[in-house]
Structures are given as structure tokens and as C-alpha cells.
A = this chain, B = another copy of it.
Amino acid sequence: MTTQQQPTYLASELVAQVRERSKGRLDARLSGEDVVVKRFMPPQSAGTGDMAFLTDARYADAMKASAASLVILREKDYEAVFGAEGRTQGSVLLCEDPYAFFAFASQLLFPVAATPGIHPRAYVEEGAEIDPTAAVEALAVVKRGARIGARAVVRSGAYVGEDAQIGAECLIHPNAVLEAGTVLGERCVVQAGAVLGGDGFGFAPFRGEWVKIPQVGRTVLGDDVEVGANTTIDRGALDDTVVGEGTKLDNQIQLGHNDRIGKHCVMAACVGIAGSTTVGDHAMIGGAAMINGHITIPSGSAVGPATAITGWGEKPAQRTGFFPALEGKDFQLTAATLTRLPQLRKDLKALEREVAELKALIRKEEA
């Protein structure tokens, strides 16, 4: 993708670093020679220096035939793939979760490239505290009182407002904006053009006009949050707008003032959440879903794509709702019928009464 030299690893090093990166939660056992690896490939096209991983037994044959230097699979799949004699070419990593191993290892193979230090053409105000291992690129802006942690990277054109805090190893992409007071935990990623800490949408009605209410809360992100390109997260009115650790937000999402998003949620692109709504932990929100303000969505809930949420009960649930797409004329006809639905229901009830009367009449006659 870029001219940057890609790193290579010994399989044993990779295992050690994945273990560390996963906070000791993901281990792997190497069987065979300690080979040099540099990238992942599909089993059928992998060769020397390549890794291939298996998560789906349907690809067992391709894996068995693979010329990859290193294959990664679950211990329980090993015999099914390679039979009693085992793999005869290249090495093997046995790992409880090969897909997670792929993700962690890929992070090591494609490290974020940046030159530590403040570029002479960056604009950094006096009174900003920037860790010497952090990188502030040319034409980035860091205002007074801002603090930037170790190994964090602020790309060209990004704006870090007064008193904003950026934790260690955060990556702020070009032209992203962190307005004054915004707080990021560690290892957050903010994609290009995202705006954190813009004013919430607060106005007092006054004689048919709208009077702006200054928004004095902040936007606060936990550790390991990802914010997609051109996503916007407004600052709170008085309290903060909060996104919990590990939550991943896709592109063009809008979070209103005082929203409180839980931990380890995922939201697909184009979601909009009005102000003062709470979303619990581990929620999954489909693309282009629209969620009203002042709602609480319990932890573990899921919202389907293109779904409008205007309320919720106390229990976690999976909710979806969108008009099914129909071919041209069918849509017109179905939509027109839909608007008569209440009348249609009344007609049915009336007919039910009529039939009941007829039935009674006939019974009487029979009797």
C-alpha cells in the first residue's frame, strides 16, 4: 500500500508480541521450525514467508494443500485437517482463536508509521504538553493546555483544541478536529474529518426565535475507542458526552450532546443518535439506524439497519424496522394500501360481526 518497509517476524516473536498485545489473553503454540513470516494470505495462494489461518472447516482441503510457511488453526481442527501424520511442509501454530490471532498479528505487521517529535511546520501553542515520543505532523494544530501522550500521532491538518487530552498511542488522522476540552483514553483512533466536541444542539425558544445555549460539557472517550471518518460527537450541554472503552464507531455517525455510549459497542456507518440517550455495553447498532433522544437501550441490545428507535423497554432485545423495498408499482400500491390500513382493520371487524350474526341466524333457523 505504501512505500514503507514492512516488518518481518519470527513466528516465535509474533506469538510473544500477540500475547503481550492481547494482555496475556491470547496464546499460541508453535510446532515445527521457527520460520520467518511477513504477511497473511489465503491458504491456496500462500507460499514462503506467508501465513494462512483456518476458522472454517469448509476450507480444510485448501489448508491441507497450502504451501504457507506457517498455518494457524485450533488444536481441535488439527487432526481433521492434517490427519494422523500431521502437517509435513512448513510450521503450525495451534491457537484457540485464529481469527483474533490474525487481527493482533496484522497490527504488528502493519504498524502505524510516524516520526516522533513536533514537526517544525506544525503549529503548537505554548503551554501544550507533548510527550517526546509522540508525533505531531506538519500543519497539525495543538492549542495551549492540550496534553498528548506517549507514542500518540497527530497527523497533518488535525486540530487539537485547548486543554484536550490524548492518551498514549492514540492516532488522530488528517483534518480530524478535537475541540477544546475533548478527552481521549489510550489507543483511540480518530479517522480523518471526524469532529469531536463540537457544540451540542441546544437552543432556548424565545418569541419564535432560537437562542443559543453555550455547551460547556466535554466529549470524553475511553480507551481503545475508534471513531470513523467524518463522524461527529458533540460535547455535552453541562455534563459530558461519553463513549465507553473499546467501542467502535464507523463513518458518518452522529452522537448528540450528553449521549452515554457503553463499552465494547459497535455501530455501523451513518447511525444518528439524538441527545441524552444511553446505550448499554456490547450493543450493536446497524447502519443508518436513527435513535431518538432521552432513551435508554439496555446492554446487549441490537438495532437493525435503517431502523428508527423511539423508545425501549427495560430488557435487552433485538429490534428492526424498515419498509421492505418493492419493485416500482408494487411499492406505490402497497404504500397506498398501507395508509388505508386502519380502515381496512375496521372493515374486517365489521365483517366479523356480520358473519357472527349470519351464523346466529342460521342456527336459529336450524333449531
Binding site for B on A (CB under 8 A): 1-4, 22, 25-26, 97, 99-100, 102-104, 106-107, 109-110, 121, 123, 127, 138-139, 141, 143-145, 155-157, 159, 161-163, 173-175, 177, 179-181, 189, 191-193, 195, 198-199, 201, 203-214, 216-218, 224, 226, 228-230, 232, 234-235, 246, 248, 250-252, 254, 256, 264, 266, 268-270, 272, 274, 282, 287-288, 290, 292, 303-310, 317-328, 330-331, 333-342, 344-345, 347-348, 351-352, 354-355, 358-359, 361-362, 365-366
Evaluate contact between B269 and A256: CB separation under 8 angstroms: yes
With A and B bound together, what is the CA distance between A2 and B175 in angstroms?
A: 22
**Known A159-B174, A340-B345; 13 more pairs at CB < 8 Å:** A3-B127, A103-B204, A106-B213, A139-B139, A175-B177, A175-B193, A195-B230, A254-B269, A274-B305, A303-B325, A318-B328, A324-B339, A362-B365
Q: Which residues of B contact A310 (CB under 8 A)?
A: 305, 325
Q: CA A144 – CA B3 in complex, angstroms?
A: 8
Chain B residues lying within 8 Å of A26, measured Cβ to Cβ, are: 206
Q: Are B270 and A228 in contact (CB under 8 A)?
A: no
- Contact residues in B for A270 (Cβ distance below 8 Å): 254, 270, 272, 290
Question: Does A189 lie within 8 Å of B212, measured CB to CB?
Answer: yes
Chain B residues with Cβ below 8 Å from A321 are: 322-326, 331
Residues of B within 8 A of A319 (CB): 325-328, 331
- Known contacts A306-B290, A341-B334: does B274 contact A193 (CB below 8 Å)? no
Known: A163-B1, A306-B290. A210 touches B264 (CB 8 A): yes
Residues of B within 8 A of A282 (CB): 208
Q: List 16 A-B contacts (CB under 8 A).
A: A107-B214, A109-B214, A175-B175, A189-B199, A191-B199, A201-B228, A212-B248, A229-B234, A270-B270, A288-B308, A305-B310, A308-B322, A324-B339, A355-B358, A358-B362, A362-B365
Residues of B close to A264: CB separation below 8 A: 208-210
With contacts A139-B141, A232-B229, A308-B305 taken as known, whether A318 is within 8 angstroms of B327 at the C-beta atoms is yes
- Bound-state Cα–Cα, A351 to B353, Å: 10
Known: A139-B141, A268-B274, A287-B290. A317 touches B327 (CB 8 A): yes
Q: Which of B2, B330, B342, B348 is A181 in contact with, Cβ under 8 Å? A: B2
A206→B22 contact, CB < 8 A: yes
In the complex, A163 Cα to B292 Cα: how many Å?
40
Which B residues lie within 8 Å of A304 (CB)?
325, 331
Minimum distance in angstroms from A146 CB to a CB of chain B = 10
User: Which B residues are CB-close (under 8 A) to A272?
Assistant: 252, 269-270, 287-288
Give the residue of B213, B229, B309, B335 whose beta carbon is less than 8 angstroms from that of A195.
B229
Min distance, Cβ A171 to any Cβ of chain B, angstroms: 10
